[in-house]
Amino acid sequence: LVILGIETSCDETAAAVYDGNRLLSSVIASQSDHVDYGGIVPELASRAHERVIHDTVAAAIRQADVTSDRIDAIAVTEGPGLMGSLLVGLCFAKGLAIQWNKPVIGVNHIDAHIYATFIDEEPELPFVSLVVSGGHTQIFHVARPLQHELMGQTRDDAAGEAFDKIGKLLGLDYPAGPEIDRRAKSGDPAFYDFPRAMMKKGLDFSFSGLKTSVLYYLQKIPEKEREAFLEKHRDHLCASVASAITDVLVNKLQQAVRQTGVKSVIIAGGVSANSMLRDKARKMAEKSGVKLHIPHPRYCTDNAAMIAVTGWFKADQGLFDDLHLKPYARFNWKKSG
């Protein structure tokens, strides 16, 4: 089965082709206009998707060197995400479906972050998966492909959101995650001991307290001295913040491994590109005797390869949709048991 994947849930317009064995192409057009606003502006995002979606999809098909008759289905992100952005991808996918007379497959964006791992590897089931992205922080137990049981999630901010909001406090541009990562490498993680919330209390997360504690920490420095202080210690603060966030993430993941007894673990979503998280998770996996899978950094953040792969898993199970497919901004995973 050859699947065309289309992703437009946030500020990346992306298209990719996957044939069940190999990724044939993956094209991403990132929007940079949001930096000036310190976050994503939904209206700007939708318009930018509309501007580039045709060329992005055309490029993915061209690079895959397939003709439309070889494509069996069009997988598209149905949610969660920005409504206007999702609509652009969904309508484009439906248009292609009508033109080519092929089915569409709605893909959940968070499922897709997990299945990004399958682009280059074949994780053994059952596995536990930690999804850490800009809008989500969740732990799932996955017994069979696409059967996800929620074990824990954030009660407030997502891990990526914490990186971005705290980065803003430290004077960094949006999205701050990648720069905190870069700066942390030359900083001291023990410079300041920021709180690790809910460490031994189940598998739920909370990151808003950390954000507040960084805010209070900075407010204690007289305003006139604050800029100079930040200038001098920014890398140390980045390292200390990254250390607090990644300690919690890996601690919860380890608890989930113990509870379930799985032999493999996946970390996915934009924050899984974080090098401190990758290092700590690797050590935890070694200690716990589990195999750790993390997608290549280019498939950690939003892309369409993960949509095509997840679409392939759905197609393989006969899970096709029709033109009534609707976008959703939010999705509520229910904890079982």
Task: Name the residue nearer to ligand ATP (CB basis): 174 or 320.
Answer: 174
CB of 213 to ligand ATP, least distance (A): 19
- Residue 241: CA count within 13 A, CB half-sphere: 39
* Candidate residues 2, 10, 90, 197; the one interacting with ligand ATP per rule CB under 6 A: 10
Asked if residue 302 binds Fe ion (CB under 5 A), the reply is yes
Task: Name the residue nearer to Fe ion (CB basis): 102 or 165.
Answer: 165
Bridge partner list, 153: 138
* Candidate residues 123, 160, 311, 327; the one interacting with ligand ATP per rule CB under 6 A: 160
Q: Which of residues 239-258 bind ligand ATP (CB under 6 A)?
A: none
Task: Name the residue nearer to ligand ATP (CB basis): 109 or 148.
Answer: 109
What is the rounded distance in angstroms from the CA atom of residue 71 to the CA atom of residue 86? 22
Bridge partner list, 13: 29
Asked if residue 46 binds Fe ion (CB under 5 A), the reply is no
Q: Enumerate residues 6+ apart whose C-beta is below 8 A from 48.
A: 11, 13, 31, 33
DSSP H helical ranges for 116-222: 159-169, 177-184, 208-219
* Candidate residues 106, 123, 135, 187; the one interacting with ligand ATP per rule CB under 6 A: 135
CB of 175 to ligand ATP, least distance (A): 4
**68-95 core/surface letters (b: 16 or more CB in 10 A; e: else):** eeebbbbbbbbbbbbebbbbbbbebbbe
Strand 23-30, strand 12-18: pairing: antiparallel
Q: Which of the ranges 119-127, 171-179, 257-265, 329-337 carries the binding residues for ligand ATP, by CB under 6 A?
A: 171-179
Measured between alpha carbons, how far apart are the two ends of the chain, in Å?
36
* Candidate residues 5, 84, 270, 311; the one interacting with ligand ATP per rule CB under 6 A: 270
Q: Which of residues 249-308 bind Mg ion (CB under 5 A)?
A: 302
The number of helices, as runs of H, and strands, as runs of E, in the chain is: 9, 10
Task: Name the residue nearer to Mg ion (CB basis): 89 or 123.
Answer: 89
Amino acid occupying residue 72 = D
Q: Enumerate residues 6+ apart whose C-beta is below 8 A from 334.
A: 150
* Candidate residues 133, 246, 260, 264; the one interacting with Fe ion per rule CB under 5 A: 133
E-state strands within the chain: 3-7, 12-18, 23-30, 73-79, 104-108, 127-132, 137-144, 147-153, 264-268, 291-293
Task: Name the residue nearer to Mg ion (CB basis): 10 or 273.
Answer: 10
Binding-site residue ranges for Fe cation:
109, 113, 302
Binding-site residue ranges for substrate:
131-135, 164, 177, 181, 274
Residues that bind Fe ion (CB under 5 A): 133, 302
Residues that bind ligand ATP (CB under 6 A): 9-10, 81, 109, 113, 133-136, 160, 163-164, 175-178, 181, 269-271, 273-274, 301-302
